[in-house]
Amino acid sequence: MFNGRNALNLDAKGRLTVPTRYRESLNDSCGGRVVLTQHPYDTCLVLYPLPAWQDIARQVAGQSDANANVRALKRRFLGQAVELDMDGSGRLLVPPELRSVIALEKRAMLIGLMHRFEIWAEDTWIELEQQELDQDAMPDSVQALSF
């Protein structure tokens, strides 16, 4: 399981180094094979261990193409997905096409969300963090949680 946030730098080749605390889990769960794609709704990338990706990709692919929004979602989420192998130093090459989608240049934030990661351009993440959450706009299931 992945949680927490980490500030990372891309190297000159566009690689991110996965923090050491996540590497063993990624190697154990998927042999370091991951899938990176554009988030369907937010200005970030999502990184899944391969087995978790296969589950969500099947669910998305199974949706009917009769709806134009579903087709657009599939193009964004499935059509831009790339399989990556973490190298022996824990690095992942972020393709230039995906870096440009979120304006990722040098500084990134890696956010652990239990079964996946989000990768944000640091500037975008800082702006997002400054926004207040609207508790009244939360679904009832979230409002019922006690934190």
Q: Which class for 62: exposed (0-12), middle (13-18), buried (19 or more C-beta within 10 A)?
A: exposed
DSSP class of residue 62? T
Which CATH number is 39's domain given?
A: 3.40.1550.20
What does the alpha-carbon distance between residue 141 and residue 138 come to, in Å, rounded to a whole number?
Answer: 8
Domain range holding 67?
2-143
What does the alpha-carbon distance between residue 43 and residue 124 come to, in Å, rounded to a whole number?
Answer: 8
- Tokens standing for residue 23: 């590497």
What is the tens place of the pLDDT at every residue in 8-30?
999 999 999 999 999 999 999 99
pLDDT band, very low/low/confident/very high, at 90 (cuts 50, 70, 90): very high
Q: What is the pTM of this model?
A: 0.92
What is the tens place of the pLDDT at every residue in 107-143?
999 999 999 999 999 999 999 999 888 888 889 998 8
Looking at the structure of the chain, the number of domains it has is 1
